[in-house]
Structure 1
């Protein structure tokens, strides 16, 4: 016989625990439930990642640069990929200064991610140097700030070639190696824009939605290789150089509306949560301050409300951009 009083009590206790956890997320306001739990009780990067060879794309600035520094301090040998060799040398030099790594522990790979013909050779170079690749961090890419009606189709082609096609091309060669070893991690820096939509970033959102769809579809193709993890990281706005380097309405035009970026999440915090996700093989992590984190939940569970809210916030976002301010500054609180 079912004891309905006990069932109701357990259900109430479960609901209370859930609400407490959601309140903790809201107060912490920088990561979703899975990452929050892993940070408190899960595996620590300092124990899981030392000695792991990590290949980071887009390593000359922003999230990729900061990731190189944090991984170096942990003791992970690094392969650093970006177009600008001088910037990679700068990052390598600092990695050596702040860690116990030596010159041979850090390999720079000067490469344009859109040069797909060079991906196989680059992978062989990294394997020849280190003998293995434990983690691939797909971080290279560019964002966008332009209205669709003003934007050349060539811009959309360039965004997809870099953010999507370039990423899955390099992944293919690294995955072949991981399948041979039956182990490895492929971590891709997607975006909250891969979950929701936003004005001024139609092409960027499309490329991140493409990455989400690709890697979520790749994961079940690898069920025969349980030692290979597919991890998608979805950051919100972060203090990095992404705004300075965005695509605009024309391929050759730079972004003049950089604005104040201090209200966004600190790059170091974003990378720390990313490394926690990496160490714990979290399939998907949302890493953001509010209101973006809250909107992710709305988009996931109540899309009609999310569309309604985005229509209102989106209008303000466009107005901010046209005034030369950061698009999100009017409704974004500085991270604590």
Structure 2
């Protein structure tokens, strides 16, 4: 075979690989590293059994679904949130649907904003189970209001809860993991911790802060390779996060249900989260398009990303002012074509 033919075959293979990757990306609901881990990586059913997993924000949404899926893997669960009654409901369903017994689930009410309670809560978990293998920092609140209309107290509340509360609990658990030289710290961030979008200035700021903190923490823990720090960045997911979002005042929330059929199903998001935990991925992006595409543009083509964000942002604000879910229009259009 001549060298010219060899070069042509090499170029053809490279083009074919590029086309395959493009087709995979168009159908993807997570970044390509995560999609590869789902296809060829380690299974949660192999890697996460017999672990003690502490989930904050476990009374609803992603945290609740995470508790249900973890309960089928044979882990010991610690369920935390402010609403004890809702945690008991989640516990009952875990016992009904999972492989766990009463002794395997600890309901531990916790207010993430009450940082003075975090050390005592950590001691309770260690006394109950003797170790903490995985801390899932999931608790937090979102925001739906224009920056110019928003009270400074709202920004303070979001930083206190989403950022400082998460950092505080992590700092209480971290010495235990360092002593054992192993553990996983998994933080449910957001694509808005990478990109920015109108109506979420305070929320986005708190999530950007979290990403910066945990990226730095990961670098500092390079001498403890047994401790994995993971940022999970979902896009829009079916939950009550928008309904419970703060608006222009701390005492005021969105408070209404919106159509969510255009958003990712919570169970799919959580399954991808478990895959990322099993494969020790440092950061994953979980979303349908167009948000996944926009995130890649923000990462690699920021000028184009700004142009597209400004275009979509106008529609987002218009939807919000009309009482609709901020993302419904362009997501609904894309999802119809995607399906």
Q: TM-score, normalised to structure 1's length?
A: 0.96
Q: Indicate the residue corresponding to 1:64 in structure 2.
A: 63
Q: Indicate the residue corresponding to 1:227 in structure 2.
A: 226
CA deviation vs aligned residue, 1:175-211 (integer Å, no higher than 9, x gap): 1110000000001101010110000000011011111
Cα offset for 1:257? Answer: 5.1
Assess if the C-alpha contact under 8 Å between 1:258 and 1:324 holds in 2.
no
Q: Indicate the residue corresponding to 2:13 in structure 1.
A: 13
CA deviation vs aligned residue, 1:108-131 (integer Å, no higher than 9, x gap): 110100110011110010011001
Assess if the C-alpha contact under 8 Å between 1:56 and 1:79 holds in 2.
yes
CA deviation vs aligned residue, 1:240-282 (integer Å, no higher than 9, x gap): 1101110110000121454211110000000000000000001
Q: Indicate the residue corresponding to 2:182 in structure 1.
A: 183
Q: Structure 1 residues 40, 159: CA separation in 2 closer, same or farther (over 3 Å shift)? A: same
**1:107-256 counterparts in 2 under 5 A?**
107-256=106-255
Assess if the C-alpha contact under 8 Å between 2:48 and 2:75 holds in 1.
yes
Q: Indicate the residue corresponding to 1:330 in structure 2.
A: 329
Assess if the C-alpha contact under 8 Å between 2:244 and 2:255 holds in 1.
no
CA deviation vs aligned residue, 1:59-109 (integer Å, no higher than 9, x gap): 000000000000001111100110000000000010000112011100011
Distance 2:247 2:193 in 1: 19
Distance 2:80 2:215 in 1: 24
**1:4-83 counterparts in 2 under 5 A?**
6=6, 9-10=9-10, 13-27=13-27, 29-83=28-82
Cα offset for 1:4? Answer: 8.1
Partner SS state of residue 222, structure 2: coil
Distance 1:220 1:44 in 2: 26
Cα offset for 1:23? Answer: 1.5
Q: TM-score, normalised to structure 2's length?
A: 0.95
Partner SS state of residue 45, structure 2: helix
> Unpaired segments of 5 or more residues in structure 2?
none
**1:283-302 counterparts in 2 under 5 A?**
283-302=282-301
RMSD over aligned Cα atoms: 1.4
Distance 2:255 2:199 in 1: 14
Q: Indicate the residue corresponding to 2:278 in structure 1.
A: 279
Cα offset for 1:171? Answer: 0.4
Distance 2:162 2:286 in 1: 19
Distance 2:309 2:245 in 1: 22
Distance 1:230 1:7 in 2: 42
Higher mean alpha-carbon deviation, 180-189 vs 18-27, is at 18-27
**1:97-108 counterparts in 2 under 5 A?**
97-108=96-107
Cα offset for 1:232? Answer: 0.6
Aligned residues: 333
> Unpaired segments of 5 or more residues in structure 1?
none
Higher mean alpha-carbon deviation, 56-65 vs 14-23, is at 14-23
CA deviation vs aligned residue, 1:119-146 (integer Å, no higher than 9, x gap): 1110010011001000000000001000
